[in-house]
A and B are shown apart, each in its own frame.
Chain A
């Protein structure tokens, strides 16, 4: 039996707007094992961030509301917790880092004060000890001259430094779960690599589980163990990270993979997925991806495909015409193009 830190079951988060109910997250389920990293991948507006905010119970209400489901963290359902209990969990057991390191630190507070604040909120220690702990955290995330940096204001730090400060802050209370919402999107490529390395290091040092929310499959391949692909509020494919890259089944996943440059393949032109995520009001009755799908059939238009497990429950895909491959072993896939179906 896997040791699950987090079990999300049939989570539905809806937003009530003037135009009607927007089902931002519509019945998703996934598990996260202790110490593992789960990548949640999808285009903008597919419900990734709403998922993370739902786990944090920070959905602005109104207009948003978690209408059903359960989020079991360490055996307890977070949805039944009071706001006060949640405050004790946020930043302590579950913490979060954001996309934009420029704006995720308070511009008029010293970084040292901000890290100490997070520590003081959750640990019964004095200001001096909190400060020591903050300096220690800054050292561990690789910030040079941490004592000096304690007294810096965010604008005096570079983007990469700020993201390191955010990570230091997030891990200062030994969080069991770190939700990273596009942690590298706003950074330079070289800095991205550094931050990914840092997150790997922190994961092994602190044993933190990570939910990595991103649209960047490169980041996922570097950091995640398992991947959940989301489209229009639903999970369309679930698999181990290796399987996603070697043997993606859902046309949407394949589309995402084809839209990124790969160093190991000669590609004349990158394939973009035509169109955008459909607006919630004009959501087709069948598969939400149907209007953009190259493999769409009549059935896709009228009937929504369920998420079906295969490979002994290790993988799942929601598609009527999933790209099928005969039982092939991993060694066979070595040189196969990523969209196995087309190659056959």
Chain B
């Protein structure tokens, strides 16, 4: 049986390049830890994240079996952070997927067809860029009511334009390369050319952009949570946990410290990974930077 060559046959080399980025590895380890905690949350935690125990409110970290202490209602902070990781990561991934899919499709159409399609999509992008996103999101939340689902699609709506611009630029530079012309001369239809010949060639920058976009989405959802327009109590979401903690910042700064630290670490990890990915997948860019 001969060894089959696949697109992944370049993977070992890419891994080596990636491994050279220490920060990328650090980010990957930190993020993996968060993912493990999020996935195994029900097994890992000793206390239910929703159960209040007012007698043990504001317990300091480490005492009474509470690894990171308890909040103002006596709920275990570690449990809430672990379950919060599920929500934050889910929001980050769903929002970016949504934004990337919508943005990529619109970017492909816009770049490939040009003309009025391009004009419409790009003006729409500019409208979204120039609109203060918090006001838009708050307005939508006020009308539809805050929920995880609403947070996801509204943030997705806000984030697609950057993907559309990125993909459009890629398509414009690919469109006149001869293999696209060659695909036309073999009788490929437009949709075949767009999705089979152009899209796979634009996927690398999309992956990088998406990796760097997840922390943005997490931050946005945390900001919404903090403002009280995001995921609602008692669901443990990091942003809304910071919001609850702000009332007790002088009394017990732990309540704001831990979720804040989680947001910080996850966002930083994603950024490190995204940078390392960009350098790995786009060697030209990394050479320019050095």
> Can you name the residue of chain B whose Cβ is closest to the Cβ of A90?
B187
A230 CB to nearest chain B CB (Å) = 21
B3 CB to nearest chain A CB (Å) = 10
A104 touches B179 (CB 8 A): yes
Within 8 A of B (CB), among A283-300: none
A175 CB to nearest chain B CB (Å) = 10
B185 CB to nearest chain A CB (Å) = 4
A159 CB to nearest chain B CB (Å) = 13
> Can you name the residue of chain B whose Cβ is closest to the Cβ of A108?
B200
Categorize the interface residue count of chain B.
20 to 34
B187 touches A106 (CB 8 A): no
A96 touches B185 (CB 8 A): yes
Complex Cα spacing A191 to B4, Å = 30
- Contacts A104-B179, A107-B179, A108-B200 given; indicate if A151 touches B5 (C-beta within 8 A): yes
Partner of B186, one of A62, A95, A99, A109: A95
Is the CB of B201 closer than 8 A to any CB of chain A?
A: yes
Is the CB of A142 closer than 8 A to any CB of chain B?
A: no
By a CB distance below 8 angstroms, the chain B residues around A151 are 4-5
> Can you name the residue of chain B whose Cβ is closest to the Cβ of A56?
B185
**9-residue interface stretch from A33-41, A114-122, A193-201, A258-266:** A114-122
Is the CB of B144 closer than 8 A to any CB of chain A?
A: no
Interface string of A60-100 (1 = CB under 8 A from B): 00100000000000000000000000011111100110111
- A-B interface contact total, Cβ < 8 Å: 63
B203 CB to nearest chain A CB (Å) = 9
A249 CB to nearest chain B CB (Å) = 34
> Can you name the residue of chain A whose Cβ is closest to the Cβ of B177?
A103
Within 8 A of A (CB), among B169-190: 177-179, 181-189
- Contacts A98-B181, A107-B201 given; indicate if A118 touches B186 (C-beta within 8 A): yes
Complex Cα spacing A121 to B196, Å = 13
Is the CB of A276 closer than 8 A to any CB of chain B?
A: no
By a CB distance below 8 angstroms, the chain A residues around B177 are 103
By a CB distance below 8 angstroms, the chain B residues around A104 are 178-179, 181-182
Complex Cα spacing A152 to B4, Å = 10
Is the CB of A125 closer than 8 A to any CB of chain B?
A: no
Is the CB of B56 closer than 8 A to any CB of chain A?
A: no
B185 touches A95 (CB 8 A): yes
Main secondary structure, interface of A, reads loop
A87 touches B201 (CB 8 A): no
A103 touches B178 (CB 8 A): yes
Interface string of B179-221 (1 = CB under 8 A from A): 1011111111100000011001100000000000000000000
By a CB distance below 8 angstroms, the chain B residues around A89 are 187
A122 touches B179 (CB 8 A): no
B160 CB to nearest chain A CB (Å) = 25
By a CB distance below 8 angstroms, the chain A residues around B182 are 96, 98, 104-105, 166
- Contacts A108-B200, A151-B4, A151-B5 given; indicate if A91 touches B179 (C-beta within 8 A): no
Name B residues whose Cβ lies closer than 8 Å to a Cβ of A.
4-5, 7, 115, 177-179, 181-189, 196-197, 200-201
16 contacts between A and B (CB under 8 A): A56-B184, A58-B181, A58-B184, A87-B188, A91-B187, A96-B185, A103-B177, A105-B182, A106-B197, A106-B201, A107-B179, A108-B200, A109-B200, A117-B186, A121-B188, A169-B186
- Known A103-B177, A109-B197; further 18 A-B contacts with Cβ < 8 A: A56-B184, A58-B184, A87-B188, A88-B187, A90-B186, A90-B187, A91-B188, A98-B178, A99-B178, A105-B179, A106-B183, A106-B197, A108-B7, A117-B188, A117-B196, A121-B187, A151-B4, A166-B182
